[in-house]
Structure 1
Amino acid sequence: MRATDGNRVSMSSGRALLALATVLSLALPLAAASSPASARPDRVTSEKTRTLTPRALGLTADLPNPLRGQYRWFGTDPTPSSVTSNDVYYRDQVYWGRLEKSDNAWDFSLIDAGLADAGARGGKFGFRVMAYCPGCWMNYREDLPAVTPPFVPLQPGTDVPDWNSPGFLAQWRELMAELGRRYGDDPRLGYVDVGGYGSYGEWHVDTGARISDANGLAVVKAVTSAFPTKHVLINTMTPVDFTLAALKANPHLGIRTDSLGCPDMYSMVAVDERLQQVWRTRPFFSEWCTRADPVLGAKQVRQFHVSTLSSSNMPWTHESLDARQRAAYDTALATAGYRLRLRALTLPRSVAAGDKVDVRTSWVNEGSAPTYDRWDVRLTFARNGKATTVSLGEQLRGVVDTSRRRARVSVRGLAKGRYDVSVSVVDPDGYSAPMYLANRGRTSSGTYPVGSLTIR
């Protein structure tokens, strides 16, 4: 028996045709499409195809999942306030001179604060350490340390770090190693910008000597080595050949750009097809440009498969946008990153006690990019206040359009009777809340009811 599109079932010659499956919302009892018994009627009877409908609000529905959509930056609340923004990003707060005022005199209290903020919201924390920030506000505060620590060598006659000096590289590796030792296994930490080199840690300079490719790769390697299980991002204002070399040398390195909504995002991604394919396996994060056009930004989210956007830096308020601009901005927020919907779930109407259950799922991603993290799809069988949960595996990593999966799961140990069945998408590490799907019917525990199964 073969299911197609979650709605139609065809049988080989000699078997009867199957009735058409009924498509209903999760908010109502789910109808069944039944077929005559298979060649083993004592083991498995008819199948039932359940099709879940998208959320009633479509793309405007809020899906507060980690590492997608809008993140909090500069302490700015979500824009608009109705959008959930649980992820937190620090940059100005955690510049190098503030983390290490003198050699090996660590002060990571602000990293701890960012992790605590994200953790309290159930979100993820990300940060970038800047070594040089020309014209930035902290340079004019006498009560704050300099951005560049006093023990970091400078280029002669300037305030620019000596990027190519052994002293700079050794101190950078030491800082990253210490950060990795403390936070590399923290589930609240989602990603780290490479930072370090260039103005604002953006990998470009206007003054002084530039870093060599070999030393630039060493700066990147220090971060990826310190955080081997986290997403690490490099700004795409770097030359294309260097960015490609860094991506090749560091398998979990992703990319970011700081200018969404400006022409070409002031990024090399827009001019190189190879960089435009990175999103398929590694994340692409961004923030709004200070001169952003929301209509252009929404187009770029889709075109370049951007996963995250900032809550700050845009030159307008949500209320000041006209109808076309506001619709574009709202679409950008809704479609940034993954937006997964269970399109159909097929399982037998009943199985014999001790038999295995054949489960087929059909998924669609309505967002601009896949999820790059591990999520476990699970089925829960509940009866008389007791529940048994089984895993269907990590079915969603890398889903960019549609996907169909099949699994056989054991229900050994379940007593005879009728069980309510629900599906959930769970963080196997137990930190993040179950994934919000673009489906109706989410329960308080993060599951989505999909019907029933009888053990006979």
Structure 2
Amino acid sequence: MMKLSWRALASAAAVCGIAATLAGAPQPAADAARATERTFRVAPLGMTADLPNPLRGQYRWLGAEPTPATVTSNDVYYRDQVYWGRIEKADNAWDFSWIDSGLAEAGARGGRFGFRVMAYCPGCWMGTRADLPPVTPAFVPRQAGSDVPDWNSPTFVAQWRELMAELGRRYGDDPRLGYVDVGGYGAYGEWHVWEGERVSDANGLALVDAVASAFPDTHVLLNTMTPVPFTLKALRNHRNLGLRTDSLGCPDMYSTVPGDRRLQSVWRTRPFFSEWCTRADPVLGAQQVRRFHISTLSSGNMPWRGTELTGRQRTAYATALATAGYRIKIRSLTLPDVLDAGRKVEVRTAWTNQGAAPTYDAWDVRLTFVHAATGRRVTRSLGRPLEGLVDTAARSRKISTKGMKAGRYDVHLAVVDPSGYSAPMHLANAGRTAAGTYRVGAVRVR
């Protein structure tokens, strides 16, 4: 047996001890990397803060001012103004002036425009005006012995498709257009009738298809007074089709959604818009906004004034306005305290959506690094971490520091409409700049 010298034994023991120490301890490089990270936080805003983002909260309807006046309403919705007989007084004799007006109003406010074309409006104000064209154009067939359109006539369906195709050609690519109600069928375009023959499923689906196909890149909304099987089939046929109810704050919103779990899950990927019922209870309405994930609502036909509400009702109404749609805040942003120029670095963000629904539009999150000495700006995209965001989420993205010179940089975050139309998203955070960004802190590049 070979004997080892005391020097060899000591050397072996030292090597074993070092290996054991290395195996049982964190790697110094990992410790150093973790120690150089820095987490920035941006102060949050309270739930009463006004967030004037598109396709959320309150919209303008029938020219009514926002209620209360402290709430910004930039989105505009037309219905009575753009009925079928006003747009097309005679076959292919078009008058687009009212839709142009609505788009102009929304555009001047930086909001989005939505509209519904009605083919039938029993008892409506325009029917008493001799100076206005009828709601149902003369070339549209009626049911025998009545003024109700013949919903199942091939001519009705063909004329409706022609109308929507013309509107789609003219407005389908307009960035000011936010959504189109299917409209058309039933009293007020609400997809319910109380007299005459009802539309067949085949013709009803054809009416929906006419709108959804004419506006393939726009949110299209179907009123949820339709039977559940019909609604589900229409949703399967068109990925851009969402839902609408005209009766927020009334029992079950006079909608089929509360009775069907499948319809109750549509909000995860498609919007659900609404307006207050004429007999609305604001307490019930606030509960429905949260439970059914309503994105928008209107005060245009509220049955009460704010001064007439009890304290509990006023609180509920304010909650409904604040939580309808998306209400997003950034909780934190983490990145290395020192960035190596020319290399990729990891950026981690944490978000909360305090609203009832996600945003259904594409928003890019961007970081802008501003060199403290020269003012030079470098912007990097973090992609679309807000897509489908409900409750809370953490996201990670690597960005390149290529082209960044050594020095200190202020870091700003913005949530940007990639089309360039909408202003950067108002977050539920303090410190928004005039450019729509939020300063999150400073880092150094070496």
Give the structure-1-normalised TM-score: 0.91
Question: What is the one-letter code of the residue matched to 1:14?
Answer: A
Distance (Å, rounded) in 1 between the aligned partners of 2:35 and 2:323: 40
Q: Cα distance, 1:196 vs. partner?
A: 0.4
Question: What is the one-letter code of the residue matched to 2:62?
Answer: F
The corresponding residue for 2:269 is: 281
Distance (Å, rounded) in 2 between the aligned partners of 1:322 and 1:270: 27
Identity over aligned residues, as a percent?
70
Q: 1:426 aligns with which of 410, 416, 426?
A: 416
Q: Which runs of 4+ in 1 moved over 4 A?
A: none
The answer as to 2:327 corresponding to 1:339 is yes
CA contact (8 A) 2:340 2:401 kept: no
Distance (Å, rounded) in 2 between the aligned partners of 1:287 and 1:248: 25
SS at 1:452's partner residue? strand
Q: Cα distance, 1:37 vs. partner?
A: 5.7
Deviates most, 101-110 or 244-253: 244-253
Question: What is the one-letter code of the residue matched to 1:119?
Answer: G
Distance (Å, rounded) in 2 between the aligned partners of 1:167 and 1:111: 25
Q: Against the structure 1 CA distance between its residues 282 and 13, is the aligned structure 2 distance closer, same or farther, given a 3 Å change threshold?
A: farther
Q: 1:87 aligns with which of 70, 75, 92?
A: 75
Q: Cα distance, 1:385 vs. partner?
A: 2.0
Distance (Å, rounded) in 2 between the aligned partners of 1:414 and 1:39: 26
The corresponding residue for 2:64 is: 76
Q: Cα distance, 1:339 vs. partner?
A: 0.4
Cα RMSD (Å): 1.4
SS at 2:44's partner residue? coil
Distance (Å, rounded) in 2 between the aligned partners of 1:345 and 1:424: 12
Q: Cα distance, 1:344 vs. partner?
A: 1.0
CA displacement, residues 205-260 of structure 1 (integer Å, 9 cap, x when unaligned):
11110000010000000001000000000000011111111111111100000000
| 1:54-73 matched pairs, under 5 angstroms | 54-55=44-45, 58-73=46-61
Q: 1:444 aligns with which of 421, 434, 438?
A: 434
The corresponding residue for 1:15 is: 26
Question: What is the one-letter code of the residue matched to 1:394?
Answer: R
Distance (Å, rounded) in 2 between the aligned partners of 1:13 and 1:269: 58
Length, aligned pairs only: 422
Distance (Å, rounded) in 1 between the aligned partners of 2:264 and 2:25: 50
Distance (Å, rounded) in 2 between the aligned partners of 1:364 and 1:88: 28
CA contact (8 A) 1:375 1:394 kept: yes
SS at 1:60's partner residue? coil
The corresponding residue for 1:370 is: 358
Kindly indicate which of the two structures has a greater share of residues assigned to helix.
Answer: 2
CA contact (8 A) 2:339 2:401 kept: no
Q: 1:404 aligns with which of 373, 384, 394?
A: 394
Q: 1:142 aligns with which of 125, 130, 149?
A: 130
CA contact (8 A) 1:97 1:145 kept: yes
Instruction: Give unpaired runs (5+ residues) of structure 1.
Output: 1-11, 17-35
Q: 1:175 aligns with which of 129, 142, 163?
A: 163
| 1:42-441 matched pairs, under 5 angstroms | 46-55=36-45, 58-383=46-371, 384-441=374-431
Distance (Å, rounded) in 2 between the aligned partners of 1:297 and 1:83: 18
Question: What is the one-letter code of the residue matched to 2:388?
Answer: G
Question: What is the one-letter code of the residue matched to 2:259?
Answer: V
SS at 1:114's partner residue? helix
Instruction: Give unpaired runs (5+ residues) of structure 2.
Output: 1-22
CA displacement, residues 310-341 of structure 1 (integer Å, 9 cap, x when unaligned):
02111111122111110000000000000001
CA contact (8 A) 2:118 2:189 kept: yes
CA displacement, residues 93-132 of structure 1 (integer Å, 9 cap, x when unaligned):
0000000000000001000000000000000000000000
Q: Cα distance, 1:301 vs. partner?
A: 0.3
SS at 1:319's partner residue? helix
Q: Cα distance, 1:45 vs. partner?
A: 6.5
The corresponding residue for 2:19 is: none
Question: What is the one-letter code of the residue matched to 2:25?
Answer: G
SS at 1:393's partner residue? coil
Question: What is the one-letter code of the residue matched to 1:251?
Answer: R
CA contact (8 A) 1:282 1:372 kept: yes
SS at 2:370's partner residue? strand
Distance (Å, rounded) in 2 between the aligned partners of 1:314 and 1:114: 21
Deviates most, 141-150 or 396-405: 396-405
Q: Cα distance, 1:52 vs. partner?
A: 2.4
CA contact (8 A) 1:73 1:312 kept: yes
Question: What is the one-letter code of the residue matched to 1:175?
Answer: L
Q: Cα distance, 1:40 vs. partner?
A: 7.6
CA contact (8 A) 1:258 1:265 kept: yes
Question: What is the one-letter code of the residue matched to 1:253?
Answer: L
SS at 2:47's partner residue? helix
CA contact (8 A) 2:431 2:439 kept: yes
Distance (Å, rounded) in 2 between the aligned partners of 1:15 and 1:378: 34
CA contact (8 A) 1:38 1:46 kept: no
Question: What is the one-letter code of the residue matched to 1:189?
Answer: L
Distance (Å, rounded) in 2 between the aligned partners of 1:411 and 1:385: 16
Greater C-alpha Rg: 2
Distance (Å, rounded) in 1 between the aligned partners of 2:360 and 2:73: 19
SS at 2:191's partner residue? coil
Distance (Å, rounded) in 2 between the aligned partners of 1:396 and 1:202: 32
CA contact (8 A) 1:45 1:351 kept: no
